[in-house]
Amino acid sequence: MGPISRRALLRTGAVGGSAAGLALLGAPLPATEPVAAAAAGTGHQPLLTALVDTIIPATDTPGAAEAGVADFVTMMVERWMHPEERARFLAGLDSFDATVRRIHGHPFEALPPARRLEILQAMAAAEEGSVAGAPPAEGPFLARMRALAIYGYYTSEAGASQELELNLVPGHYEPCHDLQPGERAVSLGRNNAVLRMP
Amino acid sequence: MTSSTFDAIVVGSGISGGWAAKELTERGARVLLIERGRMVRHGEDYPGEHKAPWEFPFRGFGDRLLYERDYPVQRRGRGFEEGSVQFFVNDREHPYQVEPGTHFSWLRGYQVGGRSLMWGRASFRLSDFNFSENKRDGHGIDWPIRYADVAPWYDHVERFIGVSGAREGIDELPDGEFLPPFAMNCIEEHAKKAIESRFPGRRMINERTAVLSRDHNGRSACHLCGPCHRGCSTGSYFSTQSSTLPAAQATGRLTIMTDTIVAGVDYDPQSKRVTAVRTINSKIGTHETIGARLIFLNASTLGTIQILLNSRNESFPDGLANRSGAVGRGIMDTLKGPMITGTFAGFDQFQPVGNRPTGIYIPRFRNLAGRRDADFLRGYGYQGSGSRALWTRGVESRSIGPALKAELRKPGPWTIMLGGMGEPLPNDDNIVRLDPARTDQWGLPQLLVSHRWTANEERMAQDMADQGEAMLRAAGAVKVSTIREIKPGGETNHEMGGARMGHDPRESVLNGFNQAHDIPNLFVTDGSCMTSSPCQNPSLTYMALTARAADHAMTQLQQGAL
């Protein structure tokens, strides 16, 4: 059973599963609170979308743009960062935008994907060891951007359950399961069923 | 005035309070269970359970700005996160003070079930070795009980709650009545062989856990979802809600009163008995006095001390049951902080399926019977586990684009984490008292905590880090990273002591049955009763001592002795 259908069944309390009593799992899940779409006013959404989708592009699974990661980044900048972290992040974004326009003659989001990838790869190499601190709150600009893209993508429905494997209620335990060809990593696992940022 | 009278009042509905309510009602008592926090209904009030990351506003990472403002202490606790924040107190609303220059993190859950909802579930017995260690090395006072006194009550508790583990025949870590263990994974099996062969006398065993590996007593086996501390609607781990509360309710003799703070306990100097509790309704502020023949304090270690100290009267000018001056003295917590993580090469073809609710355990190997093999007294164990690194490792890689996705689609390298858990020396300088000036929103004195680690703990912590590194290297770790810093007291969630048991009323608060020396119908069976703080996780012992004390209290009550 795929993760989506299992989840849908969980909501109705109809999962059989191998563990006895899983039918009791039908406690209603409260509706998710809407995440503030605070991008309005900043005007950064096209650039953020291009950045996260270059870091995590569509392949045989959706990329970060389709997974809505730009909205996640905006939410984190608006509601998770301290004011000084937010100001530094937005200054970094503006500086990145201006530099790309100056050197390449176009905004980052208007460049072809291959060129965008080159720009970020060169920037990642240049940033190596430049500013201390743990992203996404600290560190050099691209490291913070990369961390936000990764956290946002692999906790999105597409990233967690299509790109990787997600089974919220495995129902059984195999300590040393033999990986089959093509089998992917899990998006939540022992010690990481709870996510923490540095 | 006394509005009604019960056979017994139990103050607090957490791990020990739930047990007191169960045992007392099952022995025929009409019991009032008083909880200062809100009702949490089993299954219905676990909003984080089985949620996917994208269903949380902050994807599970939590509302950092809110937590920094309202949960600066609670957020340091192990089980605190976006899916469980509702089970922790708001620090702004429930202030306490720490003596300048000292540190103490008071982790709290004010609700029915208390911290039984988000506890770590590790369940180990203490041994005769532990109960006699104060006497042996002269630190602290002697426990008035030994293993033989508690062993049948450990049996009783384990049979009821269900503890998964393996029998190992280790003298200092007695076996119990176990359900089958959750098996080790391949990297743990590998490390176990290497450590046990390279370090004679050391063992790596399954962590013993109050999670069901099989259906048990009408509760379902664990379904391996992972984050137990968000609540478990199948009742697969021990909590008040899953276990003791339904048993107590089934007797028809339990009354529950929520949102009710116990401000103090009334004492009658004529009969030399406690007679009633004085309560404040936390929502509407009304006061009430409720009588009972028997009172059990299970308000958590610091909560119980607060009630005792705040119950001064002419007979007990320094606090109820405090003729010894020992109430609030000798606060302890399991020493924690040093953590060693080893990264391993190989075993790439395996990946665990299911989020095992427990891990591995390395029992104490320092300063065991008849040996002194370290530059500190007492000893420590490790909790740990092996797992494959998740996608979060991508934050440290440099890849971008399709290469990043390809890298993170594969399971990461195997790692083993070991976290030290150590026994501090009993230390009367670690004190909880009432703040002379500050009160809370109900006008009750705030607590003032003074807690410091000593040089013995500092040396022990260094050995935890050194030995952990040595064992992981011996197991073949290709990279080892170590945290050596000790965490502030309280952060292990094992705060205990302050109303210790002892032989002598002049230096202890409780006798060997958790009964106040001077007040035969007052019992204290939460962590405050502890006379030392062995390195094994303590909750199973609180349960066993509570059941034993309840048996003693009911026997005395029925004989007319109370």
Note whether A185 contacts B43, CB cutoff 8 Å: no
- Residue A138: pLDDT band with limits 50, 70, 90: confident
Same domain assignment for residues A123 and A107? yes
CA B296 to chain CA centroid, nearest Å: 18
Query: CB-based contact (8 Å) between A176 and chain B?
Result: yes
Residue holding tokens 């609540």? B231
- Residue A198: pLDDT band with limits 50, 70, 90: low
Q: Specify the 3-state DSSP secondary structure of B416.
A: strand
What type of residue is B29? Answer: A
Domain assignment present for B72: no
Same domain assignment for residues A15 and A49? no
Residue holding tokens 């390809």? B406
Same domain assignment for residues A74 and A21? no
CA-based nearest residue in chain A for residue B233: A25
SS3 content of chain B, % helix, strand, coil (to 5): 25, 25, 50
Note whether A170 contacts B225, CB cutoff 8 Å: yes
| Amino acid B375: pLDDT | 97
Domain assignment present for A146: yes
Q: CA–CA separation, B61 vs B64, rounded Å?
A: 8
Which residues of chain A neighbour B56 with C-beta distances below 8 Å?
A: 32
Q: Which residues contact B92 (CB under 8 A, 6 or more apart)?
A: B69, B70
Q: What CATH number does residue B21 fall under?
A: 3.50.50.60
Note whether B349 contacts A179, CB cutoff 8 Å: yes
Quote the number of domains for chain A: 2
Closest Cα to residue B45, out of B33, B37, B36, B34? B37
Same domain assignment for residues A25 and A64? no
Domain assignment present for A23: yes
Same domain assignment for residues A23 and A73? no
Min distance A79 CA to chain B CA atoms (Å): 8
Domain assignment present for B82: no
Min distance B207 CA to chain A CA atoms (Å): 14
Q: CA–CA separation, B180 vs B164, rounded Å?
A: 5
Name the domain boundary from B483, B504, B527. Answer: B483
SS3 sequence of B159-191:
HHHCEECCCCCECCECCCCEECCCCCCHHHHHH
Same domain assignment for residues B346 and B463? yes
Q: How many CA atoms lie within 13 A of B316 on its CB side?
A: 28
DSSP A80: I
| Amino acid A195: pLDDT | 66
Same domain assignment for residues B400 and B476? yes
Same domain assignment for residues A61 and A73? yes
Question: Is residue A30 scored above 90 in pLDDT?
Answer: no
- What tokens does B334 get? 């399991």
Positive or negative, the CA dihedral B501, B503, B509, B512 is: positive
Domain assignment present for B269: yes
Question: Is residue A131 scored above 80 in pLDDT?
Answer: no
Backbone angles phi, psi at A98, to 5 degrees: -65, -40
Closest Cα to residue A190, out of B67, B193, B187? B187
* Under 8 Å between Cβ of A168 and A148: no
Domain assignment present for B49: no
Name the domain boundary from B461, B483, B505. Answer: B483
Same domain assignment for residues B462 and B513? no
SS3 content of chain A, % helix, strand, coil (to 5): 50, 5, 45
| Amino acid B184: pLDDT | 97
Using left for φ > 0, alpha for ψ between -120 and 50, and beta otherwise, residue A13 falls in left
Same domain assignment for residues B113 and B242? yes
Give the Cα-Cα-Cα angle B550, B553, B555 (nearest 5 degrees): 105
Note whether B354 contacts A172, CB cutoff 8 Å: yes
End-to-end CA distance of chain A: give it in Å, rounded. 34
- Expressed as residue numbers, the domain containing A197 is 36-170+180-198
Please give the ipTM for the structure prediction.
0.94
Q: CA–CA separation, B218 vs B242, rounded Å?
A: 10
Question: Is residue A192 scored above 90 in pLDDT?
Answer: no
| Amino acid A197: pLDDT | 65
Closest Cα to residue B65, out of A85, A53, A190? A85
Domain assignment present for A175: no
Closest Cα to residue B83, out of B237, B234, B233, B227? B227
Which residues of chain A neighbour B227 with C-beta distances below 8 Å?
A: 193-194
Domain assignment present for B155: no
Q: CA–CA separation, A155 vs A64, rounded Å?
A: 11
Closest Cα to residue B264, out of B281, B280, B278? B278
- CA distances to A46, A95, A102, B152 from A99, in Å: 16, 6, 5, 74
| Amino acid A108: pLDDT | 98
Strands B260-268 and B254-257: unpaired
Query: CB-based contact (8 Å) between B387 and chain A?
Result: yes
Same domain assignment for residues B513 and B461? no
* Under 8 Å between Cβ of B70 and B92: yes
Write the residue in A150, A185, A191 that is nearest to B385 by C-beta.
Answer: A191
* Under 8 Å between Cβ of B449 and B309: no
| Amino acid A37: pLDDT | 39
- Please state the pTM of the whole predicted model: 0.93
Note whether B221 contacts A20, CB cutoff 8 Å: yes
Same domain assignment for residues B372 and B504? no
* Under 8 Å between Cβ of A135 and B395: yes
Q: Which residues contact A99 (CB under 8 A, 6 or more apart)?
A: none
Same domain assignment for residues A107 and A120? yes
Domain assignment present for A93: yes
Residue holding tokens 């003693």? B552
Q: CA–CA separation, B422 vs B458, rounded Å?
A: 10
Same domain assignment for residues B29 and B112? yes
CA A21 to chain CA centroid, nearest Å: 34
- Expressed as residue numbers, the domain containing B299 is 2-44+108-121+238-332+492-558
Q: Chain B, 60-89: which have a CB under 8 Å from a chain A CB? A: 60-61, 63-65, 81, 83
Name the domain boundary from B483, B500, B535. Answer: B483
Same domain assignment for residues A129 and A165? yes
What type of residue is B327? Answer: V
Domain assignment present for A121: yes
Same domain assignment for residues A19 and A102? no
Same domain assignment for residues A147 and A65? yes
Residue holding tokens 């980044």? A73
What type of residue is B414? Answer: W
Domain assignment present for A154: yes
Positive or negative, the CA dihedral B237, B239, B244, B246 is: negative
Write the residue in B184, B392, B412 that is nearest to A175 by C-beta.
Answer: B184
Q: CA–CA separation, B219 vs B233, rounded Å?
A: 10
Bridge partners (DSSP) of residue B38 are: B111
Q: CA–CA separation, B451 vs B449, rounded Å?
A: 6
Same domain assignment for residues B409 and B459? yes
Q: With b meaning 16 or more CB within 10 Å and e meaning fewer, what string describes A12-45? A: eeebebebbbbebbbbebeeeeebeeebeeeebb
Same domain assignment for residues B23 and B34? yes
- Residue A194: pLDDT band with limits 50, 70, 90: low
How much of chain A exceeds pLDDT 70, in percent?
74
Same domain assignment for residues A77 and A163? yes
Closest Cα to residue B227, out of B55, B58, B75, B84? B84
Note whether A72 contacts B46, CB cutoff 8 Å: no
Domain assignment present for A78: yes
- Residue A137: pLDDT band with limits 50, 70, 90: confident
Min distance B155 CA to chain A CA atoms (Å): 25
Domain assignment present for B544: yes
Positive or negative, the CA dihedral B458, B461, B467, B472 is: negative
Same domain assignment for residues B360 and B243? no
- Cα dihedral B51, B53, B54, B56, rounded to 10, equals 70
| Amino acid A42: pLDDT | 59
What type of residue is A8? Answer: A
Domain assignment present for A53: yes
- Residue A134: pLDDT band with limits 50, 70, 90: confident
Note whether A25 contacts B50, CB cutoff 8 Å: yes
Same domain assignment for residues A22 and A46? no
| Amino acid A189: pLDDT | 74
Closest Cα to residue B51, out of A144, A10, A43? A10
- Residue A3: pLDDT band with limits 50, 70, 90: very low
Quote the number of domains for chain B: 2
Same domain assignment for residues B378 and B417? yes
Divide the 562 residues of chain B into consecutive groups of 10 and give the mean pLDDT of each group: 77 98 98 98 97 95 96 95 97 98 98 98 98 97 98 98 98 98 97 98 98 98 96 98 98 98 98 98 97 98 98 97 98 98 95 94 95 96 96 93 97 96 98 98 98 98 98 98 98 98 98 97 98 98 98 96 89
Same domain assignment for residues B310 and B191? no
Cβ atoms < 10 Å from Cβ of B184: 23
Q: Which residues contact A189 (CB under 8 A, 6 or more apart)?
A: B226, B352, B355, B387, B388, B390
Which residue blocks in B238-284 are alpha helix, DSSP H? 245-250
Note whether A186 contacts B49, CB cutoff 8 Å: no
Min distance A130 CA to chain B CA atoms (Å): 14
